[in-house]
Structure formats: C-alpha cells, structure tokens
C-alpha cells in the first residue's frame, strides 16, 4: 500500500496547536445557552406546557390562583407522586414498565402502619417499610428479568396479586395511627415549615439526587445504555439483568417512601393506599418527556410532569369548571404533551 | 518464543439444530496479527463472540495466558485485556460518543459518580488519535447523528482506549472509505509494533494478506487451514485455497452441480 494512503495518525495534532484543537471539542454549540436548551429540551418543553396551562387557569380565575391555600394542598400531595414518578423514569428508560408500584405503596405503608400501631417508633416503621419496598421491588424485578416475562403484564399481575393479599388479610379494614401526630418522624417528614408543607423539601431533595443518579452516575449511565441497546450493553460487559432488577428495586424504594408519606398525611392507613396513583403517575412520566421506547428520559421533566398533572385536577375545579372536566383536561394535556415531545425529540436508530 | 496470549480449544457451538462451530482451535500469541478468514456464515463472528465472552460455547475450553478459565463472560474478557469491535459495532445510538466509548467501563470517582470532564477529555484525545477531527461532532454528539463510518470510528476508539493486549476486529473496514481503511491498517501495524496482538476478520483477502502474520480459514464451522504468512506466497494462493475449500473441484464444479440440479427437476 502506498505511503499516501496511510495518513499518519499523529498528524492532526501536529498541524493545529493542541489548546485550540481542544477548544473545538469543548461544547457542541457556539453558546452555552443553546447547549443547555438542546440538552434539556424535553424537560423545557414540559415546563412550557405547565406554564401555559397555569396561565390559562389564572386567566380563568385570578382570585383562586393567587391564594396560597391552593398551592399548599398541591404541595402536600405532589411529593407522594414524585417519589414514584422519578424511579419510573429510570424503569421506562431501561426499556421496562412497572405497574405494580401502587400495590407496593400499599404493602410497604401497611408494614409501616403495623409497626407504628404495635407501639414502636415511626422511624423503625419507615425502615421496615423501606426494606419491604426493596424486597418487593426485587421480587417483581426478578420475576420479570430472570423469569423472562413481559414487564407490562407481569407487573400488572403483581399489582393485583399484592393488592389482593392486602385486602384478604385486612378484610378491607383501615388502621388509624393517631399516635403519629406527636412523633418526631411526623415533625420531620410531614409538618409545615414557614407555612410550606415539609414533604415538598424532601421530594425536591429526592428529585435532585435522582437526577444526579440518572445523569452523572454509573447507575444512570448503565440504565440508559441498557434501555438503548441491551445487546451492545451485554457485549460491553454490563450485567444487563442486574441493571434491570436494580431499577425495579429503585421503584420499590420510591413506592415505600411514597406510601409512608401518604399515611403520615392522613394518620390513617387504608387497604387501598396507593391505588389512585397508578394512572396519574404513569401520565406524569410521559407528559414529562420520557419516551416509551427506552434509552433516554428526563428525571426533571418527569417531576415537572407530576406537577402539571397534579395541578390539572386542582386547577380545573378551582377555575370554576365542574369536576366532570377533570378527565377531559387530563387527556388533553397528555395528548398535547406527547405531540409536543414528538416534534421536539428525534428518535435515532 | 512468543507468549501464548489466548487459546480456544475444541470449541463447538450449536444454535438448536444449526452447528455454527464444530471443534475449532484458535490461538493468538503476543504481538501477533492473526487473520481470520472464511465465507459468510462460516462461524467467524460466532468464534470471536465466544472469545470475548458474549456467547457461551456449547463445549470447549478457553485458556488465557496458558490458564484455563471458568465462568468466562464479556466483563471477564475485557478485564483480561481483550477489546472487541463487533461486526454490528455494539453502539447505543441515542447516547453520546462519550457514553459509548465508556460503555461498561465508566470513569467513576466519589460513590460511583461519573468523572464527566475526565471522560470528555479522554474521549476527545482518542478521537483525535484516530483522526476523527470533524468540527461538527464533539464527544457529546449523539452517535445516531454520525455516519456509518464515523460510528465505526467510535467503536474502534472504544477498543483502543485501554491499551488492550488483544484487539479483535470483526470486519472493521466494511463501510469505510479508502482513506479510513488505510487508517485502520496503519493502526493495526501500530498495535503490532507496540507488542500487542490483533485478531482481524475481513473479507478482502488482499487486505488481510497484507497485515496478518498468520491466517486461519474457517469453513462451515471447522478450521480448514492454519498457516503462517511465510508459507503462503501471495494473496492469490490464499484465494485459490479458499475457493477450493468452498467449492471442491473449482467453480466449474459448482456450475455442473447447478446443471445437474436443474436436470433433476
Ligand atoms: N444467534 C443465532 N441464532 C441462530 N443461529 C445463529 C446465530 N448466530 C449465528 N448463527 C448461525 O451460525 C452460523 C455462523 O454465523 P457467524 O455470524 O459466525 O458467521 P460469519 O462467519 O461471521 O459470517 P459473516 O462473514 O457473514 O459475518 C450461521 O449459519 C448463522 O446462521
Ligand atoms: Mg460475521
């Protein structure tokens, strides 16, 4: 082969001085703003949807939407959703789905309620709930991953199975936990700080930590790669099954926290605890801009999606429309967001 | 005497009824370039997937530096210093170039958090090294936006990142232009010069003849020929041999068989 056909591999660095060559590589765009927008377009799109929606509500009923009361009630219930929306972003990115989290919420919070009712410290109850959530997540994940089952169907089945178990054992009876109100755990996790429900601070912390886990941690990187191309991930030595089981365990942990928080809001555990969260939480993930096909997603977008979804219900009623409009608006926002994300996000193959 | 880096002994692999490999022996010494040849479907990719731990052999033994290994896996083979550019490139196309280069080998610091800046730095160094200096693409570009050849560049960059002892290249030059192909061969020579080894799969026998020290020809899951370069006079010899293996009696025989088949109908 002739010499001309063999370009010296070190040539490029010889011609251009290194620092300037390095500079060329530094950032994809001429301006950091553009780079930021490109990197976060899904989350920003969701934010835009939220802002437009709130503007519409405010125009419809300015008085209600400028009162703090409305926001306080949203800030109390929103955290519960956030604790499951965020782990679900990981699951969906990984190319799976988990529909069993409502039952896990119910189950873990049941364990919490049992421990508290037996007279132990609520902190012990929280620890027990977390362990329960982890174990259930591991069980569901193992069933899907090692059993080679479709996560859509298998987790749906597990949701029914676990909920059924709760119902059979409790025969529909709830548990009142009045002793909670003067416990340390309540003050730390469920009271108010400067008039703001303290849950939201914990939830924000959880979102920030999870976003770092997703974008800046080995776990998140492997979740994305596995969801993108599991064969490649395996060829590069990633334990694909282990990563998949881990995301289900993460959902279990999130569901346990969510369930415990919801019990602490009401001082009561119901055998149906968590049931109502299935559809709003799933909607939040996709409204947030995480696509269904795996490989990419956004934790912050999911969180904004959760805020959007939880404001729809409150907003529709507060705007003076009858409750009959809630489902209609839910659907409208979901469809509009999906259309927006489709236009906003290219799918690479 | 060069050290025996890796040895596959009596490897068989069947996919259900399909026998992809039936008792194959293959070894690579330190500092050696081995050319693996064979027709489509001969079992070349299957063999190197077994070598890189991605596919489990039905039977057979793998020895690394003379020691038999158990529980061989993709992670283990990478730890042992084997890097592979797979035929399908093994890229995650929705991820950035950086994420692909460090796939399964993330640079982490505190509590497993990524050393993002270090990764970007290393990735751009690598890309410069393989002459991947387009201004449009950066380490943070999405692989799905790259052309076929550029994607191949990412896969090769990943394989050379850790000064691997054995680099396996499964048809690395398909989809590459003439200059890019030349770069790959130049790189192969560099690796050999630095005392490391390469297992090269290619369909262009002239190319393989140019760079390999030893040739192994696979035919329908069996080794049909193992020969040192010194024993083969020219690429034509090799081509003739491979034709002979594939169609005993020459291509004329193939035509005869076709005719016979037609007559039988
Ligand atoms: N996952 C699989 N399932 C079933 N059969 C397979 C599988 N992978 C490979 N095979 C079969 O094994 C045989 C060898 O395939 P292999 O990919 O190793 O060929 P190759 O020599 O790399 O061919 P090529 O030059 O076309 O890449 C083929 O007959 C193929 O059909
Ligand atoms: Mg092949």
Task: Give per-residue pLDDT as tens, B129-182.
Answer: 877 666 678 888 999 988 888 898 899 999 988 889 999 999 998 878 888 888
Check whether A11 has a pLDDT greater than 70: no
Q: Please state, in angstroms and as integers, the Cα–Cα distance from residue A338 to each residue in A51, A110, A285, A295, B21, following that order.
A: 16, 36, 11, 17, 48
Average pLDDT over chain B, rounded to an integer: 87
Q: Is the minimum distance from the CB of B6 to ligand 1 under 6 angstroms?
A: no
Going by CA atoms, what residue is nearest to atom 4 of ligand 1? Answer: B15
A180 close to A116: Cβ distance less than 8 angstroms: yes
* Domain range annotation of chain A: 42-341
Give the E-state strand segments of B146-229 in sequence order.
Answer: 166-170, 197-201, 214-219, 222-228
pLDDT at A36: 76
Instruction: Calculate what percentage of chain A has a pLDDT beyond 70.
Output: 91
CA A183 to chain CA centroid, Å, is 28
Low-confidence winner among A52-56, A136-140, B174-178 (lowest mean pLDDT): B174-178
How far, in Å, CA of A39 to CA of A236, rounded?
A: 25
More confident residue, A313 or B60: B60
Distance between Cα B158 and ligand 1 center (Å)? 24
With the C-alpha atoms ordered A3, B166, B163, B89, is the resulting torsion angle positive or negative? positive
Q: Domain A42-341: give its CATH code.
A: 1.10.3470
How far, in Å, CA of A348 to CA of A338, rounded?
A: 17
In degrees, to the nearest 5, what angle opens at C-alpha B201 toward C-alphas B195 and B202?
A: 120
Q: Mean pLDDT, to the nearest integer, of B240-256?
A: 65
User: In B, residues 192-221, which contact A (CB 8 Å cutoff)?
Assistant: 210
A61 close to A318: Cβ distance less than 8 angstroms: yes
pLDDT tens digits, one per residue of A233-284: 999 999 999 999 999 999 999 999 999 999 998 899 999 999 999 999 999 9
Average pLDDT over chain A, rounded to an integer: 87
Residue B176 has phi, psi (to 5 degrees) of -105, 145
Q: Which atom of ligand 1 is nearest to the CA of B55?
A: 1
Going by CA atoms, what residue is nearest to atom 18 of ligand 1? Answer: B43
Q: Of the CATH numbers 3.90.1150.10, 3.40.50.620, 3.40.50.300, 3.20.190.10, which one belongs to the domain with range B4-232?
A: 3.40.50.300
* Domain range annotation of chain B: 4-232
Contacts of A235 in chain B (CB under 8 A): 52, 54, 74, 84, 86, 90
More confident residue, A303 or A3: A303
Contacts of A11 in chain B (CB under 8 A): 131
Check whether B253 has a pLDDT greater than 70: no
Paired with B68 in beta bridges are: B63
pLDDT at B134: 62
pLDDT at B243: 79
Check whether A98 has a pLDDT greater than 70: yes
């Amino acid at each position: 082969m002739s010499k001309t056909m063999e370009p010296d591999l070190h040539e490029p660095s010889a011609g251009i001085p290194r620092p300037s060559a390095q500079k060329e590589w530094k950032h994809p765009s001429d301006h950091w703003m553009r780079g930021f927008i490109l990197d976060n377009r899904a989350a920003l799109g969701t934010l835009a949807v939220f802002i437009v929606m709130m503007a519409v509500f405010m125009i419809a009923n300015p008085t209600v939407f400028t009162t703090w009361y409305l926001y306080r009630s949203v800030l109390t219930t929103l955290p519960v959703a956030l604790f499951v929306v965020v782990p679900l972003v990981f699951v969906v990115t990984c190319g799976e789905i988990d529909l069993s989290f409502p039952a896990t919420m119910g189950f873990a919070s049941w364990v919490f309620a049992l421990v508290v009712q037996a007279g132990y410290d609520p902190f012990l109850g929280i620890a027990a709930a977390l362990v329960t959530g982890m174990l259930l997540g591991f069980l569901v994940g193992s069933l899907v991953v090692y059993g080679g089952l479709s996560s859509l169907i298998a987790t749906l089945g597990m949701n029914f199975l676990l909920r059924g178990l709760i119902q059979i054992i409790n025969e529909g009876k709830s548990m009142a936990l009045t002793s909670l109100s003067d416990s340390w755990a309540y003050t730390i996790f469920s009271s108010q700080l400067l008039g703001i429900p303290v849950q939201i601070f914990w939830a924000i912390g959880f979102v920030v930590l999870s976003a770092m886990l997703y974008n800046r941690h080995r776990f998140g990187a492997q979740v994305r790669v596995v969801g993108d191309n599991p064969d490649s991930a395996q060829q590069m030595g990633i334990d694909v099954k282990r990563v998949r089981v881990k995301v289900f365990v993460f959902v279990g942990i999130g569901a346990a926290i969510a369930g415990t928080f919801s019990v602490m809001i009401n001082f009561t555990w119901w055998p149906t605890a968590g049931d109502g969260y299935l559809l709003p939480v799933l909607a939040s993930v996709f409204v947030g801009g995480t696509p269904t096909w795996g490989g990419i997603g956004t934790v912050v977008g999911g969180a904004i999606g959760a805020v959007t979804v939880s404001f729809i219900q409150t907003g529709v009623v507060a705007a003076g429309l009858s409750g009959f409009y809630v489902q209609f608006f839910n659907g409208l926002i979901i469809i509009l967001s999906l259309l927006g994300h489709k236009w906003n996000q290219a799918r690479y193959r | 005497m060069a050290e025996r880096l890796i040895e596959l002994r009596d490897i068989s692999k069947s996919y259900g009824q399909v026998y992809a490999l039936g008792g194959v022996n293959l070894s690579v010494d330190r500092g050696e370039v081995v050319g693996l040849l064979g027709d489509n479907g001969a079992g070349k990719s299957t063999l190197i997937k077994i070598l890189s731990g991605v596919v489990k052999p039905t039977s057979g033994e793998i020895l690394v530096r003379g020691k038999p290994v158990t529980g061989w896996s993709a992670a283990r083979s990478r730890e042992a210093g084997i890097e592979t550019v797979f035929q399908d490139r093994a890229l995650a196309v929705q991820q950035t170039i950086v994420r692909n280069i460090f796939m399964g080998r993330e640079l982490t610091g505190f509590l497993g958090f990524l050393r993002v800046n270090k990764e970007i730095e290393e990735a751009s160094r690598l890309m410069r090294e393989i002459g991947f200096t387009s201004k449009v693409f950066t380490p943070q570009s999405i692989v799905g936006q790259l052309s076929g050849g550029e994607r191949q560049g990412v896969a090769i960059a990943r394989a050379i990142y850790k000064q691997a002892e054995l680099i396996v290249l499964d048809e690395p030059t398909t989809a590459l232009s003439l200059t890019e192909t030349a770069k790959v061969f130049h790189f192969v020579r560099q690796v050999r010069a630095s005392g490391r080894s390469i297992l090269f799969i290619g369909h262009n026998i002239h190319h393989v003849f140019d760079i390999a020290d030893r040739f192994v020809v696979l035919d329908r899951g069996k080794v049909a020929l193992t020969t040192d370069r010194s024993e083969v006079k020219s690429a034509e010899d090799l081509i003739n041999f491979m034709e002979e293996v594939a169609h005993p009696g020459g291509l004329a025989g193939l035509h005869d068989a076709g005719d016979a088949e037609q007559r039988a109908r």
